[in-house]
């Protein structure tokens, strides 16, 4: 063991003076008293969370078509979906249609890592982030939320943020504006076709009006050069074989 008297700490000299530590401590206290407090008085005061906080996942059951994309993409495999098919009779249709009915949609929040992939991939806007985070349980099994429980979280989902005024317009808005710009009545044809026969250009009907017939192919060929072998006709008689 090192003898305390052998320590070469430069503060040793100060420690030996009585009251130095007290003065230092009071200095820190005074400095901190003038600063603004960073302590959040949770749970008496609810924290102000950013609007896109990832607290819990909420489900809109009516939007879910049981496409299974979220369950397939979840890296933790903590989404459990069961469904059955149901026949829907559509008046006027030749045969009944089938639709998926959701029987079970559970998320195990004891496994979830809050990556948000399920919400990103859902093509039917059935999943949303809620900033609610106060759902701790004494029993880990209670962290498995069924579709009714997930649906209850929808009440805590904040409304979507307003559009950025400097951002690009949404695709839906652009498409609606383009559709509104098209007149209800299709545009008139550029020029009306002449209705009186005298206004129409005369079509060449007599043989004399038609262009002269093309000469026979054999007449198009140049005469054979002296000393060259006569070209052989192919099987169809249309020309020399290569
Ligand atoms: S947030 Fe990620 S881990 Fe959690 S359920 Fe969705 S995909 Fe799975
Ligand atoms: S991706 Fe969306 S629509 Fe498809 S099963 Fe999941 S929640 Fe339902």
**pTM of whole model > 0.75?**
no
Give the pLDDT confidence score for residue 230 in this predicted structure.
Answer: 45
Residue 236: pLDDT above 80? no
Q: What is the residue with the minimal CA distance to atom 4 of ligand 1?
A: 112
Q: Is the dihedral of CA 42, 44, 50, 55 positive or negative?
A: positive
Which string of DSSP letters, residue by residue, matches 167-217?
SPPPHHHHHHHHHHHS-SSPPPPSSPPP-SGGGSPPP--STTTSPPPPPPH
Q: What is the dihedral of CA 79, 83, 89, 93, to 10 degrees?
A: 60
Extended strands (E) in 35-181: 56-59, 79-88, 97-108, 127-130, 144-145
Residue 139 contacts residue 178 (beta carbons within 8 Å) = no
Q: Is the dihedral of CA 114, 118, 120, 125 positive or negative?
A: negative
With respect to residue 183, please indicate whether it lies within any of the assigned structural domains.
no
Residues contacting residue 98 through CB under 8 Å, at least 6 positions apart: 85, 86, 87, 88
With respect to residue 146, please indicate whether it lies within any of the assigned structural domains.
yes
With respect to residue 135, please indicate whether it lies within any of the assigned structural domains.
yes
Residue 237: pLDDT above 50? no
Phi, psi of 20 (to 5 degrees): -70, -45
Band of pLDDT at residue 218, cut at 50, 70 and 90: very low
Residues contacting residue 132 through CB under 8 Å, at least 6 positions apart: 55, 56, 153, 156
Task: Pick the range with the lowest mean pLDDT from 79-93, 121-135, 205-219.
Answer: 205-219
With respect to residue 81, please indicate whether it lies within any of the assigned structural domains.
yes
Measured CA to CA, the distance from residue 5 to residue 13 in angstroms comes to 11
Q: For 151-188, how does the pLDDT look when each residue is reduced to its tens digit (9 = 90+)?
A: 999 999 998 878 788 888 888 888 999 988 887 665 55
- The total number of structural domains in the chain stands at 1
Phi, psi of 98 (to 5 degrees): -120, 145
Alpha carbons within 13 angstroms on the beta-carbon side of residue 85 total 4
The CATH number of residue 127's host domain is 3.30.70.3270
CA distances in angstroms from 111 to 52, 61, 138, 145, listed in the order given: 21, 22, 16, 12
Residues contacting residue 83 through CB under 8 Å, at least 6 positions apart: 66, 100, 101, 102, 103, 104
Measured CA to CA, the distance from residue 200 to residue 151 in angstroms comes to 71
Domain that holds residue 133: 56-155
Greater confidence (218 vs 35) lies with: 35
Give residue ranges with CB within 6 A of ligand 2.
Answer: 64-70, 81, 121-122, 124, 126-127
With respect to residue 32, please indicate whether it lies within any of the assigned structural domains.
no
Task: Please compute the mean of the pLDDT values over residues 139-148 and round it to a whole number.
Answer: 96
With respect to residue 98, please indicate whether it lies within any of the assigned structural domains.
yes
Q: What is the residue with the minimal CA distance to atom 2 of ligand 1?
A: 115
Give the pLDDT confidence score for residue 9 in this predicted structure.
Answer: 54
Q: What is the residue with the minimal CA distance to atom 4 of ligand 2?
A: 67
Sheet with strand 144-145: strands edge to edge = 79-88, 97-108, 144-145
With respect to residue 164, please indicate whether it lies within any of the assigned structural domains.
no
With respect to residue 126, please indicate whether it lies within any of the assigned structural domains.
yes
Atom of ligand 2 nearest to the CA of 66: 5
Mutate which of 99, 104, 122, 150 to test ligand 2's pocket (most atoms within 8 Å of Cβ)?
122
């Amino acid at each position: 063991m090192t003898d305390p008297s052998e320590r070469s700490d430069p503060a040793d000299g100060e420690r030996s003076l009585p009251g130095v530590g007290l003065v230092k401590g009071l200095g820190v206290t005074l400095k901190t008293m003038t600063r603004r407090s960073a302590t959040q008085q949770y749970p008496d005061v609810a924290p102000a969370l950013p609007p896109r906080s990832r607290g819990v996942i909420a489900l809109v059951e009516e939007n879910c078509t049981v496409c299974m994309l979220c369950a397939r993409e979840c890296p933790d495999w903590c989404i459990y979906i069961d469904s059955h098919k149901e026949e829907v009779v559509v008046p006027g249709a030749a045969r009944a249609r089938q639709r998926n009915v959701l029987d079970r949609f559970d998320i195990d929040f004891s496994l979830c890592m809050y990556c948000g992939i399920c919400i990103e991939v859902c093509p039917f806007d059935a999943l949303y982030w809620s900033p609610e985070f106060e759902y701790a349980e004494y029993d880990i099994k209670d962290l498995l939320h069924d579709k009714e429980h997930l649906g209850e979280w929808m009440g805590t989902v904040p409304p979507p943020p307003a559009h950025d005024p400097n951002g690009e317009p949404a695709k839906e808005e652009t498409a609606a504006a383009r559709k509104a710009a098209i007149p209800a009545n299709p545009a008139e044809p550029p020029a009306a076709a002449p209705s009186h026969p005298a206004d129409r250009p005369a079509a060449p009907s007599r043989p004399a009006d038609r262009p002269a017939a093309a000469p026979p192919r054999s007449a198009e060929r140049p005469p054979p050069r002296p000393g060259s072998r006569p070209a052989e006709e192919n099987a169809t008689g249309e020309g020399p074989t290569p």
